[in-house]
């Protein structure tokens, strides 16, 4: 498909478990963002990659959250020792240019994480 | 603190009428504004945007108005159609503020629009 693909679509984790969420951006897209959307809220920025470089991780809520994009395409968001407050939809978005270029963001359908 | 606010959680409109969705912001560094539309179980999709150098941008049935002095923007949908029923998010970014700003979006809480046939 031509869109941003995220997997899994749903993930249930027991508190304390580690999880890994995958994002396949649109081929050739330079910029990749991760957002967290809590129930009833708008998406909140987590981190930004330009190619393989993580230029901003200021939105990551704690050191339990880690993101990587080693080859400048696929990205993984890892959450260690999950807590109930981590339950949310995690959205990945990509755009063709660098973020300053006004290229619109293309969002994936998200991964809904439920921590029990 | 909520830098982008959508104070109406929901809006109900009759088909064919105008839908007006409102958004307020507090950060004067924001200079580029966007509206996204979201259907259940899908990611947000880009709808329309406006730069702070303009006060209006139109695309088909969708028009965005920006009032910089009031730090307020609105999205007008005319005429509204049942397929427009979705959650609408306002977003803002300090695109040209320099330094470390680069287009990171700050979203409002969203407004659920329901268009009745």
Q: What is the pLDDT of residue A103?
A: 72
* A105 DSSP assignment: P
Q: Do B44 and A40 touch (CB under 8 A)?
A: no
Q: What is the pLDDT of residue B99?
A: 43
Rounded distance, CA B89 to CA B83, Å?
Answer: 16
Q: What pLDDT digit, counting tens, does each position of A72-104 carry?
A: 999 999 999 999 999 999 999 998 876 666 678
The stretch A57-63 carries a mean pLDDT of 95
SS (H, E, C) chain B: CCCEECCCCEEEEECCCCEEEEEEECCCCCCEEEEEEECCCCCCEEEEEEECCCCEEEECCEEEEEECCCCEEEEEECCCCHHHCEEEEEEEECCCCCCCCCCCCEECCCEEEEEEC
A17-99 has which fold? Immunoglobulin-like (2.60.40)
The tokens of A116 are what? 């029990």
Domain ranges across chain A? 17-99
Q: What is the pLDDT of residue A97?
A: 73
* B81 DSSP assignment: -
The stretch A62-80 carries a mean pLDDT of 97
Distance from CA of A55 to the nearest CA of B (A): 9
Task: Provide, as residue numbers in chain B, all residues whose Cβ is less than 8 Å from the Cβ of A55.
Answer: 102
CATH value at residue B109: 2.60.40.10
User: Least CA distance to A34: which residue of chain B?
Assistant: B104
- Under 8 Å CB pairs connecting chains A and B tally to 60
Q: What is the pLDDT of residue A101?
A: 63
Q: What is the pLDDT of residue B97?
A: 57
Q: What is the pLDDT of residue B104?
A: 83
Q: What is the pLDDT of residue B100?
A: 44
Q: What pLDDT digit, counting tens, does each position of B51-110 carry?
A: 999 999 999 999 999 999 999 999 999 999 999 999 999 999 987 655 444 558 999 999
Rounded distance, CA B67 to CA B69, Å?
Answer: 6
Q: Looking at the 3D structure of chain B, how many domains does it have? A: 1
User: Least CA distance to B47: which residue of chain A?
Assistant: A104
Rounded distance, CA A12 to CA B106, Å?
Answer: 28
Distance from CA of A51 to the nearest CA of B (A): 14
DSSP-derived 3-state class of residue A43: coil
- Half-sphere exposure of residue A63, counting CA atoms within 13 Å on the CB side? 0
What element of type H or E holds B10?
strand B10-14
What whole-number percentage of chain A has pLDDT above 90?
85
Q: What is the pLDDT of residue B101?
A: 44
* B79 DSSP assignment: S
Nearest alpha carbon to residue B95 among B43, B5, B27, B47: B27
Burial of A18 (0-12, 13-18, 19+ CB in 10 A): exposed
Range scoring the smallest mean pLDDT among A2-11, A70-79, A91-100, B3-12:
A91-100
For an interface test with B, the pick among A38, A42, A59, A110 (most B C-beta atoms closer than 10 Å) comes out as: A42
The domain of B94 spans 4-116
What whole-number percentage of chain A has pLDDT above 70?
95
Q: Do B103 and A108 touch (CB under 8 A)?
A: no
The tokens of A105 are what? 């963001």
């Amino acid at each position: 498909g031509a869109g941003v693909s995220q997997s899994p679509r749903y993930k249930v984790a027991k508190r304390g478990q580690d999880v890994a969420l995958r994002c396949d951006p649109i081929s050739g897209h330079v910029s990749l963002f991760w957002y967290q959307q809590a129930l009833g809220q708008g998406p909140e920025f987590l981190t930004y990659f330009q190619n393989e470089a993580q230029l901003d991780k200021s939105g990551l809520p704690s050191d339990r959250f880690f993101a990587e994009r080693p080859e400048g395409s696929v990205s993984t968001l890892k959450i260690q020792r999950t807590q109930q407050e981590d339950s949310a939809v995690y959205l990945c978005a990509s755009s063709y240019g660098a973020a300053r270029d006004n290229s619109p963001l293309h969002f994936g359908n998200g991964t809904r994480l439920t921590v029990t | 603190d909520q830098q982008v606010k959508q104070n109406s959680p929901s809006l109900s409109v009759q088909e064919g009428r105008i839908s007006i969705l409102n958004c307020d912001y507090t950060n004067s560094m924001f200079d580029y504004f966007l509206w996204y539309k979201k259907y259940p179980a899908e990611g947000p999709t880009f709808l329309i945007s406006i730069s702070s150098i303009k006060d209006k941008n139109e695309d088909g049935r969708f028009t965005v108005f920006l009032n910089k002095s009031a730090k307020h923007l609105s999205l007008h949908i005319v005429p509204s159609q049942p397929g427009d029923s979705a959650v609408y998010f306002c977003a803002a970014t300090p695109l040209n503020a320099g330094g470390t700003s680069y287009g990171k979006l700050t979203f409002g809480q969203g407004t659920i629009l329901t268009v009745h046939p």
